[in-house]
Amino acid sequence: MRDVCVVGVGMSQWGEVWRKSFRQLFVDAASAAIKNSGVDHLDGLYVGCMSGGLFVGQEHLGALCADYLGMAGIPAMRVESACASGGMAIRAAMFEVASGASDIVMAAGVEKMTDCSGDDATYALATAADQEYEVFHGATFPGLYAMMAHAHMAKYGTTRDMLSAVSVKNHKNGAMNPVAQYPFEITMEGVANSVMIADPLHILDCSPITDGAAAVIVCTEEKAKALGKPYVKIIGSGVGTDTLQLCQRADMTTIKASTLAAERALKMAGKTIKDVQFAEMHDCFTIAEIVICESIGLYAPGKAGAAILAGETALDGKFPVNSSGGLKSKGHAVGATGVAQIVEIYKQLTGQAEGGRQIPGSPKIGMAQNMGGSGASSVVHILEVA
């Protein structure tokens, strides 16, 4: 396979973006990525979106997005894997270039989640869970992750402060991100005293619903060099799956799909987790970041919570996690999240992270971990400075 490089990135504003439509959010991010990369055409387009049909009543997104980008006619398709849709779009674009089928491809993600009622948004998100055995009985994602949190607390002694530390850290990073939905800092006490959603998870343990888009240009290294812009290589990509139902898993305190995805991505890259210097992780809930840190082998089971509380995953820690602010502060436009993670990895590896959130020491290798639902699907990418 050919080497594949990220040569340009773009994002729209994330948050409750009332004055922009679904298609305009996509165009904002896609146009920014094209301008950032300097490419003059695209050979293909992949659009990650979890549920445009339920959120805004719009499907057939490949053609729609190509049209409104001014590129009707190019091959374009929508990619769906719940909240991992964006990461899967990155993987699809990567393999199209790696295979030799195309030289320049855009991977984008977009979601417009605030144009419907809260109940409708909850229903749309719940389609990523098992409808017959979870949703029918009243389970929603806060409830499912709350069960994971209780299991982790019972097995390993994980504490309220450990959960709160995830949110406090990510908000501190997100306060420096100009496109973040919630760019402000919070306190440990603020998290613990915020409204309870599903015990032990408070509202400040939960990622928000978000309008937003992100886009990445991938191409051959030959094209990247010719463009004369900063670029990084995607050296590993892995996907894993698990049971959709939480109750069918052997252990609710780990996410097997992320373990498999990380192992496969690292094997492709010829690296180990010790070679990776920082990561963007899918912190849809604070417990998720703790569990993922353990599932990918960064920490032994039961050890991540204390490490996060001690500052090891802070911006100036030994392994920074979610320098963008993560889903918690940056926002969680579900179909776009996996693409936004690659945007952050690219910025960190090329020294372009805004607002003072650049990781010290010029990191050379980063990881993006994106997952769907309660972890039934996960995709991991490893990127390296060229």
String of DSSP letters for 254-323: S-HHHHHHHHHHHHHHT--GGG--EEE---SBHHHHHHHHHHTTSS-TT-HHHHHHTTTTSTTSSS-B-T
* Reported confidence tier of residue 340, pLDDT bands at 50, 70, 90: very high
* pLDDT at res. 57: 96
Residue-level pLDDT at 252: 96
Catalytic pick from 83, 219, 284, 293? 83
pLDDT for 80 equals 98
**Whether residues 295 and 341 fall in one domain:** yes
304 pLDDT band, cuts 50/70/90, is very high
pLDDT at 147: 97
Q: Residue 157: its pLDDT value, please? A: 98
- 111 and 245 belong to one structural domain: no
pLDDT band at 188 (very low <50, low <70, confident <90, very high): very high
The reply to whether 174 and 315 lie within a common domain is yes
Are 58 and 182 members of one domain?
Answer: no
pLDDT recorded at residue 156: 98
| First-to-last C-alpha distance (Å) of the chain | 17
Contact between 88 and 239 (Cβ < 8 Å): yes
> What's the whole-number mean pLDDT along residues 163-170?
98
pLDDT of residue 38: 97
Q: Rounded CA gap, 162 and 153, in Å?
A: 10
Number of structural domains, the chain? 2
Share of the chain above pLDDT 90, in %: 99
CA distance 85 to 88: 5
The answer to whether position 386 is within a domain reads: no
pLDDT bin (cut points 50, 70, 90) of residue 182 is very high
The stretch 293-313 carries a mean pLDDT of 98
Are 226 and 164 within one domain? no
Tell me the per-residue pLDDT of 353-373, one tens digit each, with 9 for 90 and over. Answer: 999 999 999 999 999 999 999
For position 140, what pLDDT does the model report?
A: 93
Whole-prediction pTM:
0.98
Q: Is residue 225 part of a domain?
A: yes
Question: What's 226's domain CATH number?
Answer: 3.40.47.10
In a domain, 385, yes or no: no
- Say what the pLDDT of residue 134 is: 95
Q: Are residues 38 and 174 part of one domain?
A: no
In a domain, 40, yes or no: yes
Residue range 199-216, pLDDT digits in tens: 999 999 999 999 999 999
Task: Report the pLDDT value the prediction gives residue 35, as an integer from 0 to 100.
Answer: 98
Angle of CA points 83, 88, 93, to nearest 5°: 145
What is the pLDDT, as a whole number, of residue 42?
Answer: 98
- pLDDT per residue over 44-103, tens digit each? 999 999 999 999 999 999 999 999 999 999 999 999 999 999 999 999 999 999 999 999
pLDDT band at 256 (very low <50, low <70, confident <90, very high): very high
Q: What is the pLDDT of residue 279?
A: 98
**Are 228 and 196 contained in the same domain?**
no
* 171 and 220 housed in the same domain: no
Mean pLDDT rounded to a whole number for the chain: 97
Q: Is residue 29 part of a domain?
A: yes
Indicate if 162 and 276 belong to the same structural domain. Answer: yes
pLDDT of residue 347: 98
Question: Residue 117: how many CA atoms within 13 Å on its side-chain side?
Answer: 3
Co-location of 140 and 275 in the same domain: yes
- Shared domain for 143 and 281, answered yes or no, is yes
pLDDT for 240: 98
Q: How confident is the model at residue 267 (pLDDT cuts 50, 70, 90)?
A: very high
Q: For residues 384 and 297, is the Cβ–Cβ distance under 8 A?
A: no
Q: How many CA atoms lie within 13 A of 163 on its CB side?
A: 30
Residues 175 and 282 in one domain: yes
pLDDT score for 31: 98
> If pLDDT is split at 50, 70 and 90, which confidence band does 273 have?
very high
Active site (annotated) includes residue 332: yes
Can you give the pLDDT at residue 63?
Answer: 98
- Which residues form the domain of 344? 126-205+234-380
pLDDT score recorded for residue 325: 98
**Reported confidence tier of residue 164, pLDDT bands at 50, 70, 90:** very high
- The band of 105, judged by pLDDT with boundaries at 50, 70 and 90, is very high
